[in-house]
Amino acid sequence: MHEINLDLTAYRLIAGVDEAGRGPLVGAVVAAAVILDPSRPIQGLRDSKKLSEKRRGQLFQEITGQSLSWAIALASPAEIDQLNILQASLLAMKRAVEALGVQPEIALVDGNQRPRLSCRVEAIVKGDSKVAAISAASILAKVERDRQMRVLHETYPLYGFDQHKGYPTAAHLALLQQHGPCPEHRRSFAPVKLALGQLTSF
């Protein structure tokens, strides 16, 4: 882990917070919050995007089994359309922290935006590769988001959600144009608007 310019020695309960699913055209944005147990360190924590799906699954079990507290929350496609994706992401993060069984003294959030919480909040750019607790949160959020995409694929198999996980790949965009959006597509995103005929180009 890289050094961060933040003195955390005064804090015992530190929550790492991250989200998954800001870029996709479909489904919820998923956030997770994790308070790691210093007496039970977990090896191999890093940015979830740099781990294989299998390794993420293994770490998911370790994180949920060995942390002092963890929680996963989301903001729905309807909330994304109503609020915008940034505000929906911050809402999901806030819900995740509030759902923790132990309330943290400080929350370290990946990125440069901070949700409004009752505890101190610090945003750390590239925090998922600098802070173990944020890495752990990124893994929980990513694994849960991928699980939701597999479930969505079973409901709407026409779109290949199990393959592209809702991201705007060429295959997804072609299927979106061919079949139109499903109820879980985010209506406020330009490619979905285009498929609905509400936008001529983007």
For residue 3, the model assigns a pLDDT of: 55
Question: Would you say 18 and 141 are in contact if contact means Cβ atoms under 8 Å apart?
Answer: yes
For residue 67, the model assigns a pLDDT of: 97
Q: Where are the chain's structural domains? A: 14-156
Q: Is the pTM of this model over 0.75?
A: yes
| Grouped pLDDT means (10 residues each) for the chain, 202 residues | 72 96 97 96 88 94 97 98 97 98 96 95 94 96 97 96 95 94 96 83 48
- Exposure letters 90-111 (e unless 16+ CB within 10 A, then b): bbbbbbbbeebeeebebbbbbb
Q: Which amino acid is at 149?
A: M
For residue 40, the model assigns a pLDDT of: 94
Neighbours of 119 (CB within 10 A): 14
For residue 47, the model assigns a pLDDT of: 79
Helix 132-155 with 53-66: angle, nearest 10 deg: 120
Query: Between 3.30.420.10, 3.30.750.210, 3.40.50.300, 2.40.110.10, what CATH number should domain 14-156 receive?
Result: 3.30.420.10
